[in-house]
Amino acid sequence: MENNSLYQKSNIRRLPELAKLAPETFKAFATFDRLALADGILSKKTKELIAIAAAHVTGCPYCIDAHVANAKKLQVSKEEMTEAIMVATALKAGSAIAHGLNALQAYDGENNEDLYQKSNLARFKEINQLSPEAFRAFNQFDLAALKPGLLSKKDKELIAVAIAHITGCAYCIEIHTKNAKKLDVSREELVEAIFVATALKAGSALAHSVNALNAYDDNE
């Protein structure tokens, strides 16, 4: 029986083909990816937790598989992994609700040239008034996801900053960078987290290339 699965673990074995098809570019990415995930000011464990969270936002099953395996080798527990995933979930949802501020601006004809004004954040009160139950439920989830647990508040804010760069939410970057600074996160730590996010966002595109190779070689 023909297997119609587009996501099989064995697909990732085609990744070395890219090294032959675009050797210099592939080598450059591999070097960047290795450096981004290496021990630095942030530990490799923290970076792998950020990577797992990021992979759930990029929606890359290959990345999830690889980084969960890496994290497990570093003694990351299922509970720690799940806390990281919940932060990612809260930030992905948070990006959508934050962009609701832009929707209100557009609806009212107030969407001027600068689409990301800090003053727009004041309109969260309006979203609360327009959909109070859902807004309250989201806030409760968001607070629970970012609350310190097995992962510290600092680690969770670093994950949040990283995810905000993947979702491209300027409001989320503003809020969570300031939260991280209050927790004495340094610029260097902040940038290391951002580079993990960068590597995972790029890595998702690279990993999905195995699907492109399969599709290209399909005779149908």
pLDDT, one tens digit per residue, over 164-178 is 999 999 999 999 999
SS3 140: helix
Percent of the chain with pLDDT over 90: 87
pTM for this model (two decimals): 0.93
The one-letter amino acid code at 130 reads: L
Q: At what angle do helices 187-207 and 44-58 cross, to 10 degrees?
A: 50
pLDDT, one tens digit per residue, over 110-169 is 777 777 888 999 999 999 999 999 999 999 999 999 999 999 999 999 999 999 999 999
User: Which residue bears the tokens 């949802």?
Assistant: 93
pLDDT, one tens digit per residue, over 1-32 is 456 778 888 888 999 999 999 999 999 999 99
User: Which residue bears the tokens 């990993």?
Assistant: 207
CATH of domain 20-207: 1.20.1290.10
Tell me how far CA of residue 19 lies from CA of 22, 27, 67, 88, 200, in angstroms: 6, 7, 21, 31, 18
* Cβ atoms within 10 Å, residue 125: 10
Per-residue model confidence (pLDDT) at position 113: 74
Tokens of 58: 């990029």
